[in-house]
Amino acid sequence: MKEVSMNYHLLILGSTLILYVTLVEPAWSVNPAGYGSAGGEYNIKITRVPANEITKAKSEKPPIEPTPEILAEGKEIFLGRGGCISCHGAEGRGNGAAAKNLPIQPRDFTNPKFNNYRTPGEMMWVLKNGSLGQTGRVPGTGMLPVVQPKGFISENDGWKVLLYERSLGNSVH
């Protein structure tokens, strides 16, 4: 009986992998939805933060001001050890080298409307937790957590990066 049950589970697993490779993988080989077109990013009005955490996330404020020095440090992290450039591109337009391999185009931080819809606290939540479809309403972008403890940069550096990212939509950089 155990052997039949195990074989059944292996059959299900194998079938799932075959479906994934034939249906999902080819979809990733094409450009993400709207890739390269004006406003091609996914709907900026839909938050990535789960409903039970949104109030707290929206209320969180940067502990530092976006001075020219802080923005320069944020840019340095964005272009370097933060790894942001890979997906978001050197100018933060969501057109980095890895962008075409993602199911959804990475966020275009030069879109001035983004800052109207997403708060710094929501952005920090994404930096801490990633954007892997946690809301259940929108597919994940594939972004992994970058801020500790789940990620690899400090929270202070995360604030510098997100202040720099927000400055791109304000044309203050």
The pLDDT tens digits of the residues spanning 91-150 come to 999 999 988 887 778 889 998 888 888 899 999 999 999 886 655 555 566 788 999 999
Lowest-confidence range among 40-44, 64-68, 120-124?
Answer: 40-44
Gap between the Cα atoms of 129 and 150, Å rounded: 7
Question: What's the pLDDT at 2?
Answer: 52
Q: Is the link from the previous residue into 106 a cis peptide, with omega within 30 of 0?
A: no
Residue pair 35/96 in contact (Cβ under 8 Å)? The answer is: no
Write down the number of H helices and E strands in the chain. 8, 0
Gap between the Cα atoms of 165 and 173, Å rounded: 9
Number of C-beta neighbours around residue 82 at 10 A? 24
